[in-house]
Amino acid sequence: MLTKEYCKGVANVVIAVAFVFLSGGEVNAKERMKDFGDAGIYCESSDSNIGNFYRYVEKTCKNKYKCYVKATAVATRKELKQHRCTGFFVAPVCKGEPANLETRSIFGKLAVFCPK
């Protein structure tokens, strides 16, 4: 026999799962990214590898609905630590305006898409 507490617990899990799948523009990206206003890595100093981040983003994400980028694709962990990098950002042009997406997790990945 199902108890009232058990049913409430199941309902909470269903609501949480539905929220994860239905929330945010990330899941429902509807616009292809054709241009990027800017992209970069937040560092105290820089070098040519770190400066190549914009070109890497363009090559990886252009004409896609969604893509993932990482700072470690253009620089090693050692280089990122040496330059005291703390995060990175991408600003795809969506509906004529740049939409800034960023993370402060320098070794993580960032989902890039045009939000609703």
Q: Please give the pLDDT value at position 1.
A: 53
**CA-CA-CA-CA torsion sign (39, 66, 32, 114):** negative
More confident of the two residues 20 and 50: 50
Q: Which of 81, 78, 60, 79 is nearest to 70 (CA)?
A: 60
Predicted local distance difference test score (pLDDT) of residue 99: 94
Would you place residue 4 in the very low, low, confident or very high pLDDT band (cuts 50, 70, 90)?
A: low
Span 32-44, pLDDT tens digits: 999 999 999 999 9
**Which residues does residue 38 pair with via DSSP β-bridges, in sequence order?**
91
> Do residues 86 and 107 touch, judged by C-beta distance below 8 A?
no
| DSSP label at residue 115 | -
Q: Is the pLDDT confidence value at 94 over 90? A: yes
Please check the confidence at residue 15 and state whether its pLDDT lies above 50.
no
Task: Check residue 10 and give its pLDDT.
Answer: 42
Higher pLDDT, 84 or 23: 84
What is the predicted pLDDT for the residue at 75? 95
Kindly report the pTM of this predicted structure.
0.71
Read off the pLDDT of each residue in 69-96 and give the average, rounded to a whole number: 96
Question: Which residue in this structure is represented by tokens 């909470």?
Answer: 12
Predicted confidence at residue 19, as pLDDT, reads: 35
